[in-house]
Amino acid sequence: MKYIDPHIHCVSRTTDDYLYMARAGVVAVTEPSFWAGYDRSSASSFADYFRHLTEVEPKRAARYGIQHYSWLCINAKEAEDVGLSREVIGLIPALLDNPHVLGVGEIGLNKNTRNEITVFEEQVDLAARHDQLILIHTPHLEDKHKGTAIISSILRNDPRIKPERVLIDHCEEHTMRMARDHGFWAGMTIYPVSKVTPQRAVDLMEVYGTKQLCVNSASDWGESGPQWLTDTLLEFRRRGHTEAEADEVFHNNPCRFMGQSPKWKVEAVGADG
């Protein structure tokens, strides 16, 4: 079957991963801007990074028949430097017309600090002013519940933000309900060393349902990989859910969320089209 990885950091992956995804049935990926594993020294590093995301990766993906889209921002970890963040935010408007850019992301919080919140609010404002979709990164482990609550409240207090145009990612058992309570989309990341395993992911789908949910691998330079998303799809089918149900979660839900951008070109499959 065909499916989509709605959150993967292809700049950190090899061409073998593209080949793997093509063999496994991945037809499209979306790549948010994130932390490179080290703090960048200047805004010009981000300018090059954005060129990599918007020009290099779409071509690399196309060689494997995969459509590549991206999201631009400064990530929460480097947002601690507010001056640098404002320089980077200044680079983004000129790139929002790129045919592969879906919106602003992954913005959010890391340690829930005052500076991170300031930069988060400025990037929400950027998205609102330019009518962009938003992809949200939520913090790790013990900071996740509090961070998700702060993020949700900032978004709800901005009347320009339509919740159905925001996806709150990296949800787990203690945040899944909060993320979708107010009409936002939820994302779930299969990254067993720090996030969800395929078994836990399918448990979560069975308990909370799959409406307004996108499942991803968030593969990056860490112990991760696109195969975790395939394994989740297989676990979902192994438990008796039909192929049509799998299409809905792993292909059509990303199409519904991303399809709110006129740039998204992948059509939903199956009866509900």
Give whichever of 127 and 246 is closer to Zn ion, judged by the CB atom.
Answer: 127
CB atoms within 10 A of CB 105: 28
| Sole window of 113-121, 210-218, 226-234, 235-243 interacting with Zn ion (rule: CB under 5 A) | 210-218
Q: Which is nearer to Zn ion, 34 or 250 (CB)?
A: 34
Shortest spacing between CB 108 and Zn ion, in angstroms: 10
Tell me how crowded residue 194 is: count the other CB atoms within 10 A of its CB: 13
Q: Name which of 136 and 233 has its Cβ closer to Zn ion.
A: 136
Task: Report the C-alpha gap between 26 and 205 in whole angstroms.
Answer: 21
Measuring CA to CA, how many Å separate 143 from each of 28, 33, 47, 225?
31, 21, 30, 24
Query: Which C-beta is closer to Zn ion: that of 37 or that of 183?
Result: 37
Per rule CB under 5 A, is residue 29 in the interface with Zn ion? no
Shortest gap between Cβ of 269 and Zn ion (angstroms)?
Answer: 26
| CA separation for the pair 254, 212 (Å, rounded) | 9
What CA–CA distance (Å, rounded) separates 90 from 123?
10
The interface region with Zn ion, picked from 28-36, 149-157, 190-198, 247-255 by CB under 5 A, is 28-36
| Nearest distance, CB of residue 84 and Zn ion, angstroms | 19
Closest separation in Å from C-beta 165 to Zn ion: 19
Q: Which of 3, 18, 34, 71 binds Zn ion (CB under 5 A)?
A: 34
- The 10 Å CB-count burial string (b at 16+, else e) for 224-236 is bbbbbbbbbbebb
Residue closer to Zn ion (CB basis): 102 or 218:
218
| Cβ atoms of 35 and 56 closer than 8 Å | no
Element (H, E) at 72: strand 67-72
Minimum CB separation from Zn ion for residue 9, in Å?
6
Q: How far apart are CA 233 and CA 239, in angstroms?
A: 10
| Residues 217-236 close enough to bind Zn ion by CB under 5 A | 218
Give the residues lining the site for Zn ion (CB under 5 A). 34, 218
